[in-house]
Amino acid sequence: MSSELIEKIRQRSHELDPCTQSNYSKFDVKHTDLSLSVSFETKTLAGVVTYTLINKDASNEVILDTSVLDINQVKVNGNSAEYKLGELSMYGTPLIIPIDSKQQEIQITVEYNTTDKCTAIQFIQGDTGPYIFSQCQAIHARSLFPCFDTPGVKSPYKFTAKSPSVCTMSGRPQPSSQKNIYYFDQPIPIPSYLVSITSGNLKKAPIGPRSDVYSEEPNLAACKWEFEKDMENFIQIAEQLVFEYEWERFDSLVLPSSFPYGGMEIPNMTQLTPTLICKDRTQTKVMAHELAHSWSGNLVTNCSWEHFWMNEGWTVYLERRIVGAIAAAEAKSQGKANPEEYGEQVRHFNMIIGWNGLIDSVNTMDPKFTSLVWDLENQDPDDAFSRIPYEKGFSFLFHLECKLGGLKAFDPFIKYYFKKFRYTSLNSAEFVKTLYEFYEPLGKASLLDSIDWNTWLFGSGLPEYPNFDTTLADQVFQYVEKWVTTIQNNGDILQQFSETDVESFEGEQEMLLLETLTEKFKTMKVSPDLIKKLPEIYPKYNNSGNGEFISRWNELLISFGKYNATDPIVQKFANWIGSVGRMKYVRPGYKLLISGVSLEFAIATFKRFENNYHPICKTMVKKDLGLDV
């Protein structure tokens, strides 16, 4: 039964990554050397990349992915070599290098420069001087250096960075006696999308015995305070769940505001959005998420972006286990009864928040991108990006956990799976095969046989609603029902509600409150006058600097308040989405301006701020606004 099932799953997706033009399957990459020289004047990088390749199939050419690069010279085994560039497509321009098919080990060197069209890097003015950072996921590495730009290829690296400012890259810093030259070693094989460079006036501070945080100096103390409480605890809990942390150090870098993601799991130097520095530690779970990527994604990797759920679903699963364990430990230290039970309540509460996000994503995404396994032939994987691989992927793993007997039955599989596939990349069929491989000897094959694999992996839309522990959520839902009853009875909301009502709520309970009020109000006749009283009732949300509150609060106000474009509420929110680059806030923010104010105002706001955004964010917002890309 399992072999037939696995073959059917295998046949439903591409054997090779459709988002690369390289001939990566014909080679093993033994080692990669990458040198990057930063020019803040020209806003370009001069690069030299050298690959040591094993020619597995007697191929007579090496084909590398490139995009908007200027190729200066190619060498094969140290000698100048002919090359040609293929046709331009949505996946860039392939670099084709003839080689001797009889030679098994080959060294390829390419000297090149980036251009002003590079989508992987952004030059900006930081708080204290010029700054550059890179972001290669999903297929932007090819605009940073010629490469096999697919998560199906992993290589150990040696990196060199040359810059007048401090540099970080995707490896362990090595000693350097030369001014403005920085060396890094990455002995653990990594894919191209994890290659990174940053350079600026960076300082660091310790946040744990094996962790530092980097940022520009004005923000360093705040960054240190935000993360130092739990960093080492996160690592130790993750090690108990999976196995020992293999990367030696877990350092992190808080980037400027234009960084388009919450975090990026760069090995040895996780990149983080400054929106996490909200002075209340409510967003530190993003750090737990990026740490979990040290195993899920970085050690064990999806073989193509069609199986992206395997990176993110597993990472959300581990993140929530870490957050639940932290909550249990705190409850125990406070002398609370049943701390383990409380930890599970916190984990389940985070699941509920995630489920709400999944509903929103399913309702707004193209149905073909609401399945776990995607078809990305002739498709930019950035177009498929949403919360779905994170939350639907998590739901799938939680379903397996419950089906197979709970945490005690599932935890040994976690260790087995990550041990088996570390340093490699895999697809969904191999994942299912490994489930059977582990559980069949334990007499649980029939449980696996009962799972609707086709619907879970390839079906669009929402999965079956999970059985959540709603203990912590019920406190919020009961309070929301008081709102519903008061409005239905035409009660005086200024008399019935105040900020003191929510003083006992944890931060994420408050986030759920704002989400749930928004959803309830969609089904009720709520007057704009009532909405305009909310800032008086909850001034803390109106004045919050926490992006999670700002985004939810303004959705509540602007969706129902019938504000015009000149209203201070609208202007304040428009200026805020112009000041942050995190797509989690920016893209829904513009969609809110479209629905709550007007398309014209949303476009005008974007045109004011578009130069503040990262190229990836700018492109996606243009698509959302219906502008030419």
CB 328 within 8 A of CB 336: no
Indicate the burial class of 310 (C-beta count within 10 angstroms; 0-12, 13-18, 19 or more).
buried
Q: Which of 183, 317, 390, 585 is catalytic?
A: 390
Q: Confirm or deny that 174 is annotated as ligand binding.
A: no
351 labeled part of a ligand binding site:
no
Q: Catalytic annotation on 390?
A: yes
In whole angstroms, how large is the CA radius of gyration of the chain?
25
563 is in an annotated binding site: no
For residue 259 the two structure tokens come to: 């960084």
How far is the C-alpha of 254 from the C-alpha of 202, rounded, in Å? 10
To which H or E segment does residue 308 belong? helix 308-333
Q: Is 269 annotated as a binding residue?
A: no
260 labelled binding-site residue: yes
Where would I find the H helices in 405-525?
Answer: 407-421, 428-439, 445-449, 453-458, 471-488, 493-496, 507-522
Buried b (16+ CB within 10 A) or exposed e, 85-95: eeeeeebbbbb
How far is residue 569's CA from residue 575's CA, in Å, rounded to a whole number?
Answer: 10
Number of H helices, E strands in the chain: 22, 22
CA-to-CA dists, residue 262 to 284, 347, 356, 511, angstroms: 11, 20, 18, 17
312 annotated ligand-binding residue:
yes
- Does the annotation flag 261 for ligand binding? yes
The one catalytic residue in 216, 226, 290, 510 is 290
Report the amino acid identity of residue 113: N
Residue 583 counted as an annotated binding residue: yes
| Residue 289 annotated as part of some ligand binding site | yes
| Residue 317 assigned to a binding site | no
The H or E element containing residue 549 is: helix 547-560
DSSP 54-65: EESS--SEEEEB
Distance, CA of 422 to CA of 244 (rounded, Å): 12
With contact defined as beta carbons under 8 Å apart, do 374 and 384 qualify?
A: yes
β-bridge partners, 215:
203
CA-CA distance, 323 to 347, in Å (whole number)? 7
Q: Is 293 annotated as a binding residue?
A: yes
Instruction: Judge whether 510 counts as a catalytic residue.
Output: no
H or E element, residue 369: none
Is 507 annotated to bind ligand?
no
Q: Which amino acid, 598? A: S
* Residue located via tokens 């975090």: 263
136 belongs to an annotated ligand binding site: yes
Maximum C-alpha span of the chain: 85
**Residues acting as catalytic residues:** 290, 390
List residues forming the annotated binding site for Zn(2+): 289, 293, 312
List residues forming the annotated binding site for a peptide: 135-137, 260-265, 582-584
List residues forming the annotated binding site: 135-137, 260-265, 289, 293, 312, 582-584
